[in-house]
Amino acid sequence: MAVELEALVGHLYIVGGRVINVTPPGALVEIAPPTAARGREGDTFFILIVPSGTIAPTTFYEQLAQLAAERYFSMGGSVTIALHTMFQLINRNLYDHNRQHSDAQQQFETSLIAAVLREDDLYVARVGPVVSVLQTSGYTLPFPEDLSDDEQLFSTPLGLLPEPEITKMNYAVNAGSRLVLSDANLVDLPSDRLTSILLESDIETVLQNLRRALKIQSQLMLVEFVPPEYDGPVLAAPGTSSQEVAARLGDARSQMEAGAPALPQRGDFGGLLRWGLARLAGQVAALLFFFGDLFQRFFPLPEAAPARRFSSGTLILTVLLIPLLIVSVVVLSWVSNLGETEFEQCLGDLQNAANLARSIDSGNRRSIISAWNGTLTVTAACENLRPEDPTVASIRQEAQSMLDTFNNVKRRAATPVTNFENAEITRLRLQGTDMYALDERNGLVYRIKLSDDGSVPLRQEPVSLMRLGASHQGFTIGRIADIAFDDQSGDLAMLDEKGTLMRCAPQLIFNCDVQRVLDADNWEKPIALVIWARRLYILDSEGGQIWRYDASGSSYVSAPREYFAGTAKPNLRNVVDFTINAAGDVFVLYADGVMKRYVGGNEQGFAFSGFNEGSEPNVVLTEGFYLNDSLIAPGFYLISRRSRTIFETTAAGTFMDSFQAYDQDKLALMSAVVAYPELNLLYVASGNTIFRMDMDFQ
């Protein structure tokens, strides 16, 4: 017979080494509401949402957690189906939002872990770098099972892929079992120490020990399962939804506030002055009365007063005026220093965070990086209170320098070369000092003629025939899929999604030929074009194929051939780009940062290596790349918008360097990169702007 259990819940929220005494914004426990779907009535729902990438306002995670609970309790069927559907709905909302908002400050992604208690069964599901640990019947059961396996731990967060990568686990629990839902920082604890902490006598002690062990950063929820008759401290009425508890607390708070005098707001200096004067004057008056009474007791007044004494009016003025002057000086001093108090507190927290980061052993790379990242978080808060403070600026520079050292990051100035109004540059192609940029938002191609040193544009103009809706030789251009150079002829080629191929001579960019390649109607979603040895290679991601067209003179009149033959074809749905090196090897980059190499349609061994922990392409999720196939510094340049970093590797995929801009906001919308090794320049497209970065290729 199944045993009904209830839950005691505690939370831990540490930011930059400072314990925040509130529930983490994305943490929620919900008991089935009266409107729950059939089959959900006895469920208890736990959820923890952890930010990934751009940090949203706290209300975003609170509302997202509430939405997840509502979706779960509104769906029937099994627990696993309801959890899976809930994850899909949350992911779809985030993914659609991110597709509609190109601004990096509005690109939101989250890691999410949820658990459901039904009688004595516990179901856990997760997406992204979040973990659970269950202590039950003497066993410590982590999920994922191997916390040292980064591939399992650092899965793709919600909002980045059309379909989330959900992993699930099911356990049997009993009275006394304890569950931790946490961000990935819990992995820093050795397993034996975590086990000993979870075996403490009560959850309050467990939370205190976790607080001591996780010093830098943590968001976690601790749950202990107890029988209904458990006699312990209860913070909310058993069996009551947290929504109802919040409503009751809000009503009680409103009633208390209605009966209490209103306190002045921080910006109301007149109100603050009056309130401070009244409060301090009352305290001073009480103190004077106390001393007067004490003086009267030891030195009673004579029965007959002296003949000469001060008038009553003089005494009143003396008694009242001096305290009022003292109170006025104190209050005015307090009001004048009001804006400094919060900053000084923040500065103290910042110095404590920096000192903690400095004290960590240099061999503990993960903790050092976490500590200095936490220091940067506190730095941002202090800069909001007092911009350009020299102490804060110095600590920020120190923190950034330490992080750059441990992450092998080199800083470069990102200098604007040119920008285009209301554009979204998604492709860059470079041939000598001629650069071409594809503006996906407006559906056109720009030509930029650069100076001999590649630093400034001499002129720039749209290629009039390479734009959405342009007509030439009886063909109308549709949505442009990609642009590419033919290295043998020097022609610039453009392909639209309907199979219209246009080729223009760079010297006479308005002298173009156009044709419709055969069997384009069989394509599903062409996203990239490469011309190698005069052949066209067209990547059809949805169709799961690379179509190869052979040249016949200056045109392509034959039917395409499949690059991937046979039945064992790769899944290309998640591919973002591809290229071909001088030897004819095909390199395909997936949205999850994985790159694969094919020769003659057969996969060959290839893997990135030598990256620092946490900066691997499959962790930072590289969105695009460029292959420098020249004799000068040959290799790959990978871009990660999420970390605003450009990674350089050898042609074999071995890490060489990583680069970031001094002003990281400039590369917030990074989408394309090309190298000009002869001039030691790297060009990066971000939003509507093309930047150059001085490098050292030689």
- SS3 labels along 524-546: CCEEEEEEECCEEEEEECCCCEE
Residue 78 has pLDDT above 50, yes or no: yes
Residue 267 has pLDDT above 60, yes or no: no
Q: What is the mean pLDDT of the chain?
A: 83
The neighbour count for residue 574, using CB atoms within 10 Å, is 15
pLDDT of residue 278: 52
Cα 611–652–619 angle (5° rounding)? 30
Per-residue pLDDT tens for 607-639? 999 998 788 898 888 889 999 998 888 999 999
**CA–CA distance, 523 with 516 (Å, rounded to integer):** 13
**CA–CA distance, 670 with 663 (Å, rounded to integer):** 13
Q: Specify the higher pLDDT residue, 97 or 466.
A: 466
For residue 369, count CB atoms less than 10 angstroms from its CB and return exposed for 0-12, middle for 13-18, buried for 19 or more.
buried
Under a CB-based contact definition with an 8 Å cutoff, are residues 190 and 142 in contact? Answer: no
Confidence of residue 74 (pLDDT cuts 50, 70, 90): confident
**Cα dihedral sign for 303, 305, 306, 309?**
positive
pLDDT of residue 271: 52
Kindly report which listed range (49-58, 209-218, 429-438) carries the lowest average pLDDT score. 49-58
222's tokens: 């601790």
Under a CB-based contact definition with an 8 Å cutoff, are residues 647 and 640 in contact? Answer: yes
19-to-22, 56, 69, 347 alpha-carbon distances in Å:
9, 20, 27, 16
Bridge partner list, 674: 683
How far does CA 66 lie from the centroid of its chain? 20
Mean pLDDT of 578-592: 94
**CA–CA distance, 679 with 453 (Å, rounded to integer):** 7
Which residues are CB-contacts of 310 (< 8 A; sequence separation ≥ 6)? 318
Residue 549 has pLDDT above 90, yes or no: yes
Percent residues over pLDDT 70 in the chain = 82
Confidence of residue 192 (pLDDT cuts 50, 70, 90): confident
**CA–CA distance, 129 with 689 (Å, rounded to integer):** 33
User: For the CA atoms of 89, 95, 96, 98, what is the dihedral angle to 10 degrees?
Assistant: 150
Mean pLDDT of 171-181: 91
Q: Where are the beta strands (DSSP E) in 443-497?
A: 444-450, 457-467, 471-472, 475-476, 480-485, 492-496
The neighbour count for residue 196, using CB atoms within 10 Å, is 12
Under a CB-based contact definition with an 8 Å cutoff, are residues 209 and 162 in contact? Answer: no
Give long-range contacts, CB 8 A cutoff, 24+ apart: 341-350: 342/385, 343/382, 343/385, 343/386, 343/389, 346/378, 346/381, 346/382, 346/385, 347/382, 347/389, 347/391, 347/392, 349/16, 349/18, 349/378, 350/375, 350/378, 350/379, 350/382, 350/392, 350/395
Residue 116: name the closest of 106, 126, 107, 130 by CA.
126
**Rounded to a whole number, what is the largest CA-CA distance in the chain?**
130
Per-residue pLDDT tens for 452-471? 999 999 999 999 899 999 99
Under a CB-based contact definition with an 8 Å cutoff, are residues 356 and 21 in contact? Answer: no
Q: Is 208 helix (H, G, I), strand (E, B) or coil?
A: helix
What domains are there in the chain, each with its CATH number? 6-256 (3.60.40.10), 339-407 (no CATH), 411-694 (2.120.10.30)
**CA–CA distance, 426 with 670 (Å, rounded to integer):** 9
For residue 680, count CB atoms less than 10 angstroms from its CB and return exposed for 0-12, middle for 13-18, buried for 19 or more.
middle
**CA–CA distance, 99 with 589 (Å, rounded to integer):** 20
Residue 240 has pLDDT above 50, yes or no: no
Percent residues over pLDDT 90 in the chain = 44
For residue 144, whether the previous peptide bond is cis, meaning omega lies within 30 degrees of 0, is yes
Residue 542: name the closest of 529, 563, 525, 528 by CA.
525
89-to-42, 85, 93, 635 alpha-carbon distances in Å:
23, 6, 6, 40
pLDDT of residue 513: 92
Per-residue pLDDT tens for 657-671? 999 999 989 999 999
**CA–CA distance, 492 with 490 (Å, rounded to integer):** 7
pLDDT of residue 676: 93
* Percent composition of the chain: helix, strand, coil (DSSP 3-state, to 5): 30, 35, 35
Per-residue pLDDT tens for 304-361? 444 444 444 444 444 445 545 544 544 454 444 444 568 888 888 898 888 888 888 7
Kindly report which listed range (122-126, 353-357, 555-559) carries the lowest average pLDDT score. 353-357
For residue 521, count CB atoms less than 10 angstroms from its CB and return exposed for 0-12, middle for 13-18, buried for 19 or more.
exposed
Mean pLDDT of 104-112: 78
